[in-house]
């Protein structure tokens, strides 16, 4: 079972990197009123949650809470990916 965790700065937190990227996009002629930068973690999970999407989601959430996201400034989303099809 595979999982994906996406971590981003919280909505109220100024994303200085995103702001710089939005400006760069603008200089290329694109219209991007806001860009938020995030990080994606793809995790191959262990056998204990094989065929257990609910259990996998709990493990991913625990990983995000304990290490991958800093709750002071970041929020996260988890997705459980079915290893066979690659779809959530």
Which spans of this chain sit near other proteins (rule: CB under 8 A)? 9, 13-14, 16-17, 20, 67-68, 70, 72-73
User: What is the distance between the alpha carbons of residues 82 and 59, in angstroms, rounded to a whole number?
Assistant: 15
CB contact at 8 A, 88 and 42: no
We find the least distance from the C-beta atom of residue 50 to other proteins, in angstroms, to be 26
User: What is the distance between the alpha carbons of residues 33 and 13, in angstroms, rounded to a whole number?
Assistant: 16
Nearer to other proteins, 64 or 81 (CB): 64
3-state secondary structure (DSSP) of residue 64: helix
Nearer to other proteins, 27 or 85 (CB): 27
CB contact at 8 A, 3 and 77: no
We find the least distance from the C-beta atom of residue 78 to other proteins, in angstroms, to be 17
Nearer to other proteins, 59 or 68 (CB): 68
We find the least distance from the C-beta atom of residue 47 to other proteins, in angstroms, to be 24
3-state secondary structure (DSSP) of residue 32: coil
């Amino acid at each position: 079972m595979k999982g994906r965790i996406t971590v981003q700065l919280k909505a109220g937190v100024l994303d200085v990197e995103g702001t710089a990227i939005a400006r760069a996009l603008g200089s290329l002629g694109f219209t991007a009123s806001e860009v938020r930068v995030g990080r994606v973690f793809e995790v191959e999970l262990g056998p204990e949650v094989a065929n257990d999407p609910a259990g996998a989601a709990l493990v991913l959430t625990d990983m995000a809470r304990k290490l991958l996201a800093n709750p002071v400034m970041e929020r996260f989303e988890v997705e459980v990916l079915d290893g066979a099809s690659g779809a959530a």
